[in-house]
Structure 1
């Protein structure tokens, strides 16, 4: 029996967010805004934090620097209850970090330093412990320069040999990312990209066609997040389906996809159907979107469960 519910493997980054930012002041002038936050972020780390908030026993597997930003990330992850035994420190580069001036509509252009994301790897001596969980979530392919490719393939193959459930998400995917991801697809049980990332990789636009493209290449379940348009799911068994997003006032969309992955993982751990898991994941993402940063207003499983039941949904748009 694995020791953890989920092992979240890959991209961890320090986000510094400001809200609301409608322009960058000219020259050396200053504008006043309402809020600035530092948060644990990244396709693996934000998902791990949200899993922990929602009550899962979660291990984080990543690399941060030996600088004060790395200290912040480790201390904050520990405060959320994550196991950080496998968060390694690398003094050769700075901790991965991003500055995010969040626009009033929730969009967030980014200024990013790759740093330790590019040096992350799972050492042979850490392999067994990194895979000691019911669910293995890999996040950040495309930015994990050292781990991407053959090392990720070896890792996910080992996960499946051990009978683990695998979930997978991307960040800033481009057509070039496709080459890295294609060999992994037959080993991915739940693929949870945004429609924009998945479309860029598949060279298609329709969610139906995009999902089918990935299914044809081996993915068991394709879950395409579509922001305010909800989610489209092409499952391993049964008919495809769409679910609407909650009708909320969006503050910041940072981490919404990461939190959606966390919601799906919670459902898998609890043995829910995929439709129930995706419905809960939508509420998790809504809680995150209503605040600043990758955890937003997410506070607990019970609070999110109540929001899922109480908050209204948007009208569904047609899926092409």
Structure 2
């Protein structure tokens, strides 16, 4: 019996977002926008918060600075119900942080300070505590210099030795990122990248080929988020399938992939089919996309379940034959 439903391990970052931003003002001039906010973000951080908001027992495992931004992240995560006993603090570097000027269509270029993410690792004496969860989620490979590579592989290997279910996501992947990711693949039960990042690593934009690329290297279930095109799921057994995205007014796409992963994790804890997990995850991402930042308009499990059952799906963004 594990203490937590999920342990979210890896990249946590403070996001400062503003919208809508159409241009950076010249010289010392100012532009007036509608919203500015700060949120807990990152492929482990935002996922942990979404999991806690959706009602499952969540632990966060990361490193933040001993600065005001680190205080903010820890305080906010605790406020959402995330256990932060394994969040370490460092005075050597600042907390990882990003400035995101969000465009009117929801896209967001980034200005990023790597900071504490590069200092993060899981100490041997805390490894089993970090893995004390039904599901072990690792997020952020490629952005964690001390943890990337063999430390990540060793943690995932130990997770599988303990009988844990593993999920995995990353951000800002490049063709070179596959060298860090490939040794992890045999230990992944659910790989949940965006098609853009997965395509960079697989060297093809064909969705089915991308999924086959990762499954041939050990991934059991490959779940590719496709933005407005929805999601493509290649399960361990059975035929691949697609689901459409929900038809919503997009405010900001920050955190949509992270929250989608949280939806998959929550569905798995409830014993749902992978199709139902993916439908729910799409609704979680839709709720996030309706607002600014990684939490957006996400409220609760019940509210998200209602959204899944009531929101219309998009009918105008099918994949073309060449994408399969």
TM band (smaller chain)? over 0.9
Q: Does 1:133 align with 2:133?
A: yes
Structure 1: which 4+ aligned runs deviate by more than 2 Å? none
Superposition map of 1:280-319 within 5 A = 280-315=280-315, 317-318=318-319, 319=323
Mapping of 1:16-165 within 5 angstroms?
A: 16-165=16-165
Between the aligned partners of 1:265 and 1:61, the Cα distance in structure 2 is: 16
Instruction: For 1:145-294, list aligned pairs within 5 A.
Output: 145-294=145-294
Name the CA distance, whole Å, in 1 between partners of 2:238 and 2:186. 19
Shift of 1:283: 0.2
Partner Cα separation in structure 2 for residue 218 and residue 156 of structure 1: 13
Measure the CA separation in 2 of the matches of 1:129 and 1:151.
16
* Alignment partners' CA distance in 2, 1:114 and 1:203: 26
How far apart, CA to CA, are the structure 2 residues paired with 1:167 and 1:265? 8
Aligned partners of 2:38 and 2:318: how far apart in 1? 35
- How far apart in 2 are the matches of 1:142 and 1:171? 8
The Cα of 1:128 is off from its aligned counterpart by 1.1
Q: For 1:279, what is the secondary structure of its paired residue?
A: helix
Distance 1:184 1:12 in 2: 20
RMSD: 0.6
- 1:37-89 Cα shifts (integer Å, max 9, x gaps): 00000000000000000001000000000000000000000000000000000
* CA distance in structure 2 between the partners assigned to 1:133 and 1:290 by the alignment: 30
SS in 2 for 1:176: helix
Q: Distance in 1 between matches of 2:8 and 2:155?
A: 13
Write out per-residue CA displacement over residues 166-213 of structure 1, whole angstroms, 9 at most, x where no aligned residue: 000011000111000111100000000000000000001110000001
Structure 2 distance, partners of 1:101, 1:2, is 40
Count of equivalent residues: 320
Q: Is 1:10 aligned to 2:2, yes or no?
A: no
Q: Distance in 1 between matches of 2:12 and 2:266?
A: 20
Paired with 2:313 and 2:129, the residues of 1 have a C-alpha distance of 40
CA distance in 1, matches of 2:168, 2:51: 15
C-alpha distance in structure 2 between counterparts of 1:228 and 1:126, whole Å: 40
Counterpart CA distance in 1 for 2:128 and 2:308 is 36
Q: Which runs of 5+ in 1 are unaligned?
A: none
Offset of 1:125 from its aligned partner? 1.2
Q: SS where residue 297 of structure 2 aligns?
A: coil
| TM-score, normalised with respect to structure 1 | 0.99
- Taking structure 2 as the reference length, the TM-score comes to 0.98
Please give the alpha-carbon distance, in whole angstroms, between the structure 2 residues aligned to 1:160 and 1:245: 32
